[in-house]
Structures are given as structure tokens and as C-alpha cells.
Structure 1
Amino acid sequence: MPSGISTLAAETPALSAANTGFMLICSALVMLMTPGLAFFYGGMVRVKSTLNMLMMSFISLGIVTLLWVLYGFSLAFGTDSGSVIGWSSEYVGLSGIGLTELWDGYTIPVYVFAVFQLMFAVITPALISGALADRVKFSAWALFITLWATVVYFPVAHWVWGAGGWLFEMGVIDFAGGTAVHINAGAAALGVILVIGKRVGFKRDPMRPHSLPLVMLGAALLWFGWFGFNAGSWLGNDDGVGAVMFVNTQVATAAAMLAWLAYEKIRHGACTTLGAASGAVAGLVAITPAGGSCSPLGAIAIGAIAGVLCALAVGLKFKLGYDDSLDVVGVHLVGGVAGSLLVGFFATGGVQSDAKGLFYGGGLEQLGKQAIGVFSVLAYSLAVSALLAFILDKTMGMRVDEDTEVSGIDQVEHAETAYDFSGAGGGAGSRKPLAVPSEVITAAPNKKVDA
């Protein structure tokens, strides 16, 4: 990821049309991930919450985009202040940036870097929404992500990727968002659900996915878009590092999916479509921080480990009693922690940097750095997210009332339902009898009547 990763670019780079085009395509791929996430989550909830789940992702596209342009980019990637936050007045409103002004040390314009990073900022709060299905006011959610992006995501992005950020300066490796995106969102989800509580009927009523085809569609869109998310984080395509990350993304995802399915088969006797989709996402999460530092064989190991760990973790909510509706904690927090820490074991020292993990003769140094990055982001996001949820809950109220939750949040919060069967036709038995003119009935049998 920019600023947080050393580059082999020339001292005075010139604008590269190829890299610029490549990064614009990658930005579009990352944007596609948020609608993909909406479908992934939307299929996993019950029918009565489908639209609300879709909207919780889509609203992030609107809110976070404007925040990023107004001040988010400046806070995350502006001139460092105290190693904790950035600020550059020319980035406010993106108004002081030259048309062909390059991002420092790279061959792409600042505008391109800004829009690529925008898509990361958009999807991160959207990830949190999966833990809150069925029970959060839409207005409260909109305000929460406004505040959360401002006081959690923008500062953490600066810590991890911004020049001068304290985790960046320490040498923590996060190629494309294991700490800044997945651990950040997963810890936030845990903080919020501990404040707002469980769904009505948790552990009592069946809460199965209403549309597994939608889940699979969403997972496929996420997998597709993730190539832009990961390979694009090298900000160019000149030295082969992005290509390694592309390969590692594919193989880790495949390994995690197979590992999750194997766990399901052994534990429950079946390989489910939900397991395949969840396993794939677990692999994508785990390889995100690690794929620029490991070999393809290392990526297979990371994916397989993450697949099993995340499959184990999703069952913890029933044992520990927290209602993580769609397994954001089990997949994104656990997968992000696993992938980030495994850098300390599988980093080869021959891809994005010369940092080596334990298995390649690097000792425990990099693992220690990774652990500091993991647990500092986890603790900060958990605490601040819980505090924000508590304040909102005590002021405007975070949860809908029980009647709304039971009857369905879609109709109350959005005045719509996901599926309307009132006009659907059926077979012959469902047809209304044809209206026969009275003159036909009274006419003589052999008399021709024009109906």
C-alpha cells in the first residue's frame, strides 16, 4: 500500500499512462466490492431485513465518499502530525491538487491515488454492518459511520499507511488492509454489538439465510473485486510485486475455501454453499496483509490456516453469547489477525521488502512488529466504536423497537419489501375463470355469437 511500502521507482518518476489506467481499473474493482458485500450480506439475512442490509452498505458509498473529499484524505494521507494524524490544506475538498501532480515517489496522479484509497474507506464501515443485522435504526447507522470514519478509520489509515504514521515507521507490514480494514472493522463490530445487544430470538428462533444464490453472487463479486483491492495496492505494475499479490490472492482464497469445507464435512457431515462463500472471504481477508511478503506456497498455508480458524471462530458467538449476526467478528477480525500475524512467519524477504519471517531466518522481530500493529488497532477500534455506539444509543437510540424487529425492519425503515409476490402468476389452477358474455349463455347451441 502507498506510503507504507517501499518502492523501486526512480528518484524523479514521470507520469505513467499504463500505471494510471491500471490503477483506475483497480479503483473501479474495489468500488464493485461494496455492492458485492451488500449482496453477500443481503442473502444471509431473513427476507424481512434484506433491503436494510443492502442499504447499510450502499449508504456508505454516499456518506464516506463526501467525507473523504472534504477532509478524510487530508487526515489519512496529509502531512504527518505527531505520528497519529495527517493534515494538508491542499487536500481539503481535493481543491489544491494539480491535474498531473504525482503521488510522491510514484508514477500515478494524486487524484488516482486519492480515489483508489477512497474505495477502501467506503467498504471498511460497510463491513461492520453485517454484525448488526435486523436491529439498527438506519438514521443511527448513517450517523455512526460518519463519526466512525472520522475518528477511527481516517486516523488508523494514517498510522498504517501514511508517511510518518507510527505503525508505518515501526515497519508493520499491511499490504492492502489486514489491520486498517479488516481488524479495524471486525473490532468495531464487536464493540457495537456488545453495546446494542442481541437480536430478538437469538439462539432460539431459526435465522437462516433467505437466499444462498445471492450470497454466492456476492462472494463472487468480492473475489473478483479483491484482485483490484490487493494487486492495485502496489500502485503500479512495473516490478512484478503486484503480479505476485494477484497470484497469492487467488491461491490463498482457494485454499481457505477448501479448508473451510473440509472442516464442515468433518464436523457437520456436509459441504455447504454458505461455507464455500464464507471460506473464500476468509482467505481473501487473511491474504490481504500478507500476500505481498510471501510466496505462493506460503499463501496456500495462510489461506488454509485462516479457513479453519475462521470456521472455528464463527461458532464462538453461541458459546460466548454475543450476537455477531453475519460473522463479521469470526471472519474479518479473526481472519485479519491471522493474516497479519502470519506475515511474521511466512515473509520471504524477497517480494515487497527485505523483511523476513520466522520460517525464513528472520527470527521473531517481524512477528513482534505485526503483533503490535494488530493489537493496537484492535484495542483502539473496539474501545472507540463501543463508545460511539453507547453515546448514540443513549441519545437518539441505536436500535429499532422490538415490534419493528419482529415484524421486519424493511417495511418500517424503508417503506419497501425486497420481494413482491402479489402480482406473480401461477399455473392453470391459479387463473381466474374467463368472463363469458351472457348472450353466449343464452344463445342457441348452433348459433354463432361474436364475443
Structure 2
Amino acid sequence: MNATDNAFIIVCSALVMFMTPGLALFYGGLVRSKNVLSTIMHSFVLLGLASIIWAMVGYSLSFGHDIGGLIGGLDFAFLNGVGPTTEGSPADNLPHLTFMIFQCMFAVITPALISGAFAERMKFSGFLVFSALWIVLVYAPMCHWVWGGGWMGEMGALDFAGGAVVHMSSAAAALACAIMLGKRKGYGKTAFIPHNLPMTVLGAGILWFGWFGFNAGSALAADGAAANAFVTTHMATAAALLSWLAAEWLHEGKPTTLGAASGAVAGLVAITPAAGFVTPMNAVLIGLGAGAICYGGIMLKNKFGYDDSLDVVGIHGVGGTWGALATGLFATEGALGLFYGNAEQLWIQFVSVVATWVFCFIMTAVIFKIVDTVIGLRATEEDEVRGLDVSLHSETGYQI
């Protein structure tokens, strides 16, 4: 065990944990005031639900012994054999418990990201059951495929901190949910205006801060790779913020605070798969692309007619896809990208992107259909009109 690495990853785990409350604020400010608490609850409750599922079976299915390249075994179920030493740890410099809890925080925030697509219209009971099944049946296989010894990692796909595992998986799920759940009442006829943009900007700032643990911590050591991931994360995010604002300014005539926050998140998403594999200046190029591309991505819902409430597909889906492909262009570590003489890596990245979108979309649709048939997922029209804070939780975010 390396004590320095252990301390570093423990701190990074706390930073990644802080991202989920940050996401709650980011999403919470974007909805109408009558749904602020129900939206925040989607993220916050997963700190409890996802953590327990992870300890029971999620971690073992992700990092247990490989079964056919598709899923992990149950050798670590209920944290059996996961202790304070390096015995059995996938990272031989870290206590097994440290590695497990760092990965746990990724499992918490990923289903929380999906909730932005169905904000303001899903039943809380249905959300809990859907999320529990999704973690086991979608997140755990994806995590195993990429990081746990599964087929995608063995194929050579590069995903430093979760472009496929976190962002594309949640976006594919978000798209399935948005289509199957249907549009919010009044969508396209009524203006859905964010009720508290300062809250959203605060959430974006917390996400930016926590993302340093997300990406730098994925080096699994306090070393040069972590330093590189920290710097590339910041530079890509800074570039994406400016790129989004430039695109918005040219297209709409004015730059907005929401645009700045959205651009920053787009940059964070896009650099996630590439953070440890590219140079800082190439990260700037990835960020510049992310801001402009994701700005265009949020317009997809208008073109295709689905109601992705908080633009999960446009930012996490489009940004994660761009980041994964950009890794195949700009990588200089792990494997060389196309621009450094290795065209095959771009093809590998493309295959991983397609597989992630197809698997996560189809599996989510199946889970959605089952849960919707058994207990229902859509809030009633009356509850939706009243607001989910009062109708589902008997409380309000603000006293008037």
C-alpha cells in the first residue's frame, strides 16, 4: 500500500461524492419552483440508494472475476473480502476499501444524471425502483466492460474516467426515458423558465470543483498522470465555457449565464474519457469543440420532438460521444490516436461508442417498460400541475 496514494484517492472520493449535491443544485435551479425539491431529491436520495446497492452487489458485478467479458462474479458481494489491505484490490497500491468507495461515488452520480431528462413528471416510487434496477442491470455491466476486465477494455477502448461508463450510458438512458415517459404537460406551448439560475451556477461550480477528483483521481495514484488529468480537465472546461458562449452569442445575439454554466459542464463531460491520455493543449481543442458541439446538441430535442427536460442528451450524450471520439484523435498516452499515427484507435473508440449507446438504450427501455407496467412511472396530471414538491413530498422549496 502507498500511503500517499491512499490519502489522495480518499480525498478524491470525497470530491466525487460532493458532485452529486452539486448536480442536485444544478438541476434544481433549472426547473420551475414547484418542482425544485423533487428534482433535488432525485440526486440526493441516490447517495443512499446507490451506495447500498453498490455495497451489496454492484461492486462485485463490476469488479468481480470476469465472466465471459460481460459481467463480474459475486465474489465481492456484500463486500466480502473487501478490506483495509491491498488484498484483492484492482489497484495494488490502494486498500481494497479505498478503491471500492472511490468507484462507489461514480455509481451514485450516474443514475442521478439521468433524472434531468424526466424532471417534473416522474413518480418518486417509480424512480427508486427504476434506479435500483438500472444500477444493477446497466451501470454494473458497463463498468465491468470498461474497467473491470470486460470486453470493451480488452478491445483497447480508452475511457479514463467515464465517458462511456458515466456520460454516454446516462444519456442513452435519458433518451429512452424521455421518449417513453412523454412530454411535460404544456411542453411546446408553455414557457418552462429556470426559477433560480444562481443555484444552477453554484451547482456548476461545485461540479467543476468535484470533477478534479473525478478525473485526477482516476489515475489511482498521486502521480504525474493525476497532475495531467487535473490540468486537462481545467483547460478543456475553460475552453468549452468560452466556446459555448461564442456559439450562443452568434446564434442568439446575447451570451447567458446559463450558457456559461452549460458550457462548463459540456467541457467537463467531453474531457472525462480523455483526461489522462491527452496533453493540456489538445484538451483545449477538445473543450473548444465540446462547447460548440453541445450547444448544437441541445437543439436535437426540438428537431426530433422529445422532452429532455434539462438537456442530458445534448450535453452528456453529445459531449461524451465527442470526448470518446476525440480521445481516438488526440491520445498520446495509453495508446496513440489518429493524429499521432494510429487510425485503429479511432475505430476502437467508435465501436465502444456505438455499443454503449445501443446497449444502454435498449436495456433502459426494457427496465422502464417493466417498472411502468408494475407500479407506474408517470405522475398524474393533477400532481404534475400542482407540482411534485407538494403532491409527492408534501413540502415546498420556498415560503411565499
Short-chain TM bin:
over 0.9
**Where does residue 339 of structure 2 map in the other structure?**
359
Shift, 1:105, TM fit: 4.9
CA contact (8 A) 2:176 2:361 kept: yes
Residue 113 (str. 1) matches residue 93 (str. 2): no
- 199-208 or 100-109, which moves further after superposition? 100-109
How do residues 134-149 of structure 1 correspond to structure 2 at under 5 angstroms? 134-149=120-135
Shift, 1:88, TM fit: 4.1
Shift, 1:297, TM fit: 1.1
SS at match of 1:290: coil
Residue 130 (str. 1) matches residue 116 (str. 2): yes
SS at match of 2:207: helix
**Where does residue 201 of structure 2 map in the other structure?**
216
**Where does residue 231 of structure 1 map in the other structure?**
216
What is the rounded CA distance, in whole Å, between the counterparts of 2:90 and 2:303 in structure 1? 49
**Where does residue 31 of structure 1 map in the other structure?**
17
Equivalent position amino acid for 2:311 in 1: D
What is the rounded CA distance, in whole Å, between the counterparts of 1:418 and 1:360 in structure 2? 52
- Equivalent of residue 375 in structure 1, options 331, 354, 375: 354
What is the rounded CA distance, in whole Å, between the counterparts of 2:359 and 2:303 in structure 1? 25
Unaligned runs of 5+ in 2: none
**Where does residue 49 of structure 2 map in the other structure?**
63
- Equivalent of residue 241 in structure 1, options 217, 225, 246: 225
- Equivalent of residue 179 in structure 1, options 164, 168, 192: 164
Residue 40 (str. 1) matches residue 26 (str. 2): yes
CA contact (8 A) 1:203 1:318 kept: no
Shift, 1:315, TM fit: 1.3
Equivalent position amino acid for 1:359 in 2: F
SS at match of 2:66: strand
**Where does residue 401 of structure 1 map in the other structure?**
380
Residue 20 (str. 1) matches residue 20 (str. 2): no
CA contact (8 A) 2:162 2:272 kept: yes
Alignment RMSD, CA only?
A: 0.9
What is the rounded CA distance, in whole Å, between the counterparts of 1:54 and 1:135 in structure 2? 13
CA contact (8 A) 2:90 2:99 kept: no
What is the rounded CA distance, in whole Å, between the counterparts of 2:217 and 2:19 in structure 1? 14
Shift, 1:394, TM fit: 2.2
**Where does residue 78 of structure 2 map in the other structure?**
93
Residue 337 (str. 1) matches residue 326 (str. 2): no
What is the number of residues matched between the two proteins? Answer: 399
**Where does residue 289 of structure 1 map in the other structure?**
273
What is the rounded CA distance, in whole Å, between the counterparts of 1:280 and 1:98 in structure 2? 37
What is the rounded CA distance, in whole Å, between the counterparts of 1:264 and 1:307 in structure 2? 10
Equivalent position amino acid for 2:230 in 1: F
Closer/same/farther in 2, CA of residues 107 and 50 from structure 1, 3 Å limit: same
Structure 1 residues 60-90: Cα deviation after superposition (integer angstroms, max 9, x where no partner): 111110011111111000000100001142x
Question: TM-score, normalising length from structure 2?
Answer: 0.98
CA contact (8 A) 2:91 2:99 kept: no
Shift, 1:395, TM fit: 2.2
Structure 1 residues 129-185: Cα deviation after superposition (integer angstroms, max 9, x where no partner): 00001100000000000000010000110001012x000100000000000000000
Shift, 1:95, TM fit: 3.1
CA contact (8 A) 1:198 1:322 kept: yes
SS at match of 2:272: helix
- Equivalent of residue 280 in structure 1, options 261, 264, 270: 264
**Where does residue 370 of structure 2 map in the other structure?**
391
Q: Which has the higher helix share?
A: 2
Equivalent position amino acid for 2:346 in 1: L
What is the rounded CA distance, in whole Å, between the counterparts of 1:335 and 1:319 in structure 2? 18
Closer/same/farther in 2, CA of residues 405 and 98 from structure 1, 3 Å limit: closer
CA contact (8 A) 1:167 1:373 kept: yes
Unaligned runs of 5+ in 1: 1-14, 422-451
**Where does residue 202 of structure 1 map in the other structure?**
187
CA contact (8 A) 1:196 1:393 kept: no
CA contact (8 A) 1:194 1:386 kept: no
**Where does residue 398 of structure 2 map in the other structure?**
419
What is the rounded CA distance, in whole Å, between the counterparts of 2:104 and 2:198 in structure 1? 29
Equivalent position amino acid for 1:121 in 2: A
Shift, 1:98, TM fit: 3.7
Question: TM-score, normalising length from structure 1?
Answer: 0.87
What is the rounded CA distance, in whole Å, between the counterparts of 2:199 and 2:84 in structure 1? 41
Which is greater in Rg?
1
Shift, 1:361, TM fit: 1.5
Equivalent position amino acid for 1:205 in 2: T
Structure 1 residues 362-395: Cα deviation after superposition (integer angstroms, max 9, x where no partner): 2x20001001111101101001111211222222
What is the rounded CA distance, in whole Å, between the counterparts of 2:286 and 2:328 in structure 1? 11
- 386-395 or 68-77, which moves further after superposition? 386-395
Structure 1 residues 35-78: Cα deviation after superposition (integer angstroms, max 9, x where no partner): 00000000000001000000000111111100111111110000
Identity among equivalent pairs (%): 52
